A and B are shown apart, each in its own frame.
Chain A
Amino acid sequence: MIIYLDQHAVEVPGGITVAAALAYAGSSASRRSCTGQHRAPFCGMGVCQECRMQIDGQRRLACQTLCRPGMQVERSG
């Protein structure tokens, strides 16, 4: 299926999480920290908030969100 990461179309297998999908876009980074460091999914289970992203307009955890066709995902600040 196709999802959009920062407005770029990315082809990903069905049934995977948004956290997993990041790797298909070439970089596993999910956000920049408040001092500008790249961060990627870390705890994998909805605790650390490192993978929080804008997903279809809401700030959600990439590791606990399954990809849906056409989903809009943005790395948050």
Chain B
Amino acid sequence: MNDWVDHCDLLIVGAGPAGLSAAQAAAEAGVAAVVLDDNPRPGGQVWRHGPGFAPPRPARPLLSTLARPPLRYLPGTRIVDAPEPGVLLVEDEQRGWLLRYRQLILCCGARELLLPFPGWTLPGVTGVGALQALVKGGMPLRGERVVVAGSGPLLLASAATARQAGATVVGMFEQAPLSQVRRFALNLWRWPGKAAQAAALARRGYRPGAWVVEALGTDALQAVRVQTNGRVRTLVCDRLACAFGLVANTELASMLGCQLSAGTVAVGAGQRTSVEGVYAAGECTGVGGNELARVEGRIAGLTATGRHAEAAALAGRHRRWQAFARQLQASFELNPAIAQLARPDTLLCRCEDVSVAEVAGHTGWAQAKLHTRCGMGACQGRVCGTAARALFGWGPGNPRAPLVPARVATLGVYGTGGTGDD
């Protein structure tokens, strides 16, 4: 191996529940897999841990597989390009290099659906999972007043983390109506371990059918305006965590040529994508929680290592958690009013500071980009492009290299690393 090229039999992208489950299956088969993740610590979003926040119990055996050879774990590593079939261009803090693989399992997870509303760019406003992630990364929260808003069960988990960190949760606002949330709660007994969530949904201070219409403050957040039952009131707070559910991360799959379906990576039996040798598992194939992600990751890992009977045996469990995913999606469907929260002067593109009004007059994403710079910044449209899809129904363009901001030197590796034309 030279410095520029690395090889593996099985490459697993993502060290969350799906990726770790796939890695465990590979480890059982003695396959030399590489697990790559852009975070400095494994666990993905749901099993994120840090000082004062130990990983949850079910995560521990899976996390420990990462330390077991022949498996190799590459934290803090980003995928920059897929320059040819079977090769990814990657970089970490030190260098860029090419990673050749025979098989690939995509466990890229999901990101939050972050939608614009007045004041959403103020320091103190974050996503919902974002607040959890920042707190688990060591952000102090003691004594702060926190509002959690948006949509989905993640609101509860985020509020719990905030409380654990010493914050006071002064309000939890779920945009879905009470009737839908109640139906979701009443159905939770069907899935093991979900009953506690039902109890939390009934907790005082959790308000369905309510949402934040504006974040107030000059240089930082000072209060939010919340709409409940058609009435708007102001609530003083230090932090607002607000997101409207999750969106599958499909950029890499799309670049590899994998078929997408309804904004997720399309998979068939054994978690196979439309591209030979490429599998996908977990939230990038559809949002459904960590239990579904674990089953899918395991199925992908078993299939990739040729243990088809074992994979097939998991079909029942898989179906059960798929039903949960469907229940989840139906219950927390987005109220059209949420897409109307932004005012004309509200920024849509946070990288280039482009307002909703500037973008709204255009006929599509490509035109809006070209004429307003919306989506031309460092996030590459991951925030504003996703929001524009929710607001205007525009589809994003095809992902291109660099898939994430990457050093120029890394993009220069392909020509110099024994691959490419010179």
Direct contact of A and B (CB under 8 A): yes
Does A63 count as interface, using CB distance less than 8 angstroms? Answer: yes
- Whether the Cβ atoms of B382 and A13 lie closer than 8 Å is no
- A interface size (C-beta, 8 A): 39
- Which listed residue, A19, A33, A42, A59, touches B137 by the CB 8 Å rule? A19
CA distance A17 to B111 in the complex (A): 19
Residue from the set A19, A47, A58, A63 with the largest chain B CB neighbour count within 10 Å = A47
- Whether the Cβ atoms of A44 and B130 lie closer than 8 Å is yes
CA distance A23 to B20 in the complex (A): 32
Interface string of B14-40 (1 = CB under 8 A from A): 000000000000000000000000111
List 14 additional A-B contacts (Cβ < 8 Å) besides A23-B140, A47-B382: A19-B137, A28-B124, A28-B139, A37-B353, A40-B124, A43-B112, A44-B129, A44-B130, A45-B111, A45-B130, A49-B351, A64-B39, A64-B40, A64-B76
- Whether the Cβ atoms of B350 and A39 lie closer than 8 Å is yes
- Whether the Cβ atoms of A42 and B378 lie closer than 8 Å is no
26 A–B contacts, CB within 8 A, in A order: A20-B134, A24-B140, A33-B121, A34-B352, A37-B121, A37-B353, A38-B219, A39-B121, A40-B124, A41-B130, A42-B125, A42-B127, A43-B111, A43-B126, A43-B127, A43-B130, A44-B130, A45-B39, A45-B45, A45-B111, A47-B382, A49-B405, A52-B378, A52-B405, A59-B405, A65-B40
Does B377 count as interface, using CB distance less than 8 angstroms? Answer: yes
Interface string of B65-101 (1 = CB under 8 A from A): 0000000000010000000000000000100000000
Q: A: which residues have CB within 8 A of B?
A: 12-17, 19-21, 23-24, 27-29, 33-35, 37-50, 52, 58-60, 63-66
- A60 and B93 contact, Cβ closer than 8 Å, known pairs A43-B130, A66-B40: yes
* Residue of B whose beta carbon sits closest to that of A35: B353
Q: Which chain A residues lie closer than 8 Å to B331 at the CB level?
A: none
- B interface size (C-beta, 8 A): 42
Q: Which chain B residues lie closer than 8 Å to A47 at the CB level?
A: 111, 379, 382-383
Q: Which chain B residues lie closer than 8 Å to A66 at the CB level?
A: 40-41
Give, as a whole number of angstroms, the nearest-CB distance from A25 to chain B: 12
- Whether the Cβ atoms of A39 and B123 lie closer than 8 Å is yes
> Interface majority SS on A: helix, strand, loop or mixed?
loop
- Whether the Cβ atoms of A15 and B124 lie closer than 8 Å is no
Within B114-137, which residues are at the interface with A (CB < 8 Å)? 114, 121, 123-127, 129-135, 137
Give, as a whole number of angstroms, the nearest-CB distance from A60 to chain B: 7
Does B138 count as interface, using CB distance less than 8 angstroms? Answer: yes
Does B143 count as interface, using CB distance less than 8 angstroms? Answer: no
* Residue of A whose beta carbon sits closest to that of B141: A23
Does B50 count as interface, using CB distance less than 8 angstroms? Answer: yes
Give, as a whole number of angstroms, the nearest-CB distance from A30 to chain B: 8
- Whether the Cβ atoms of A16 and B379 lie closer than 8 Å is no
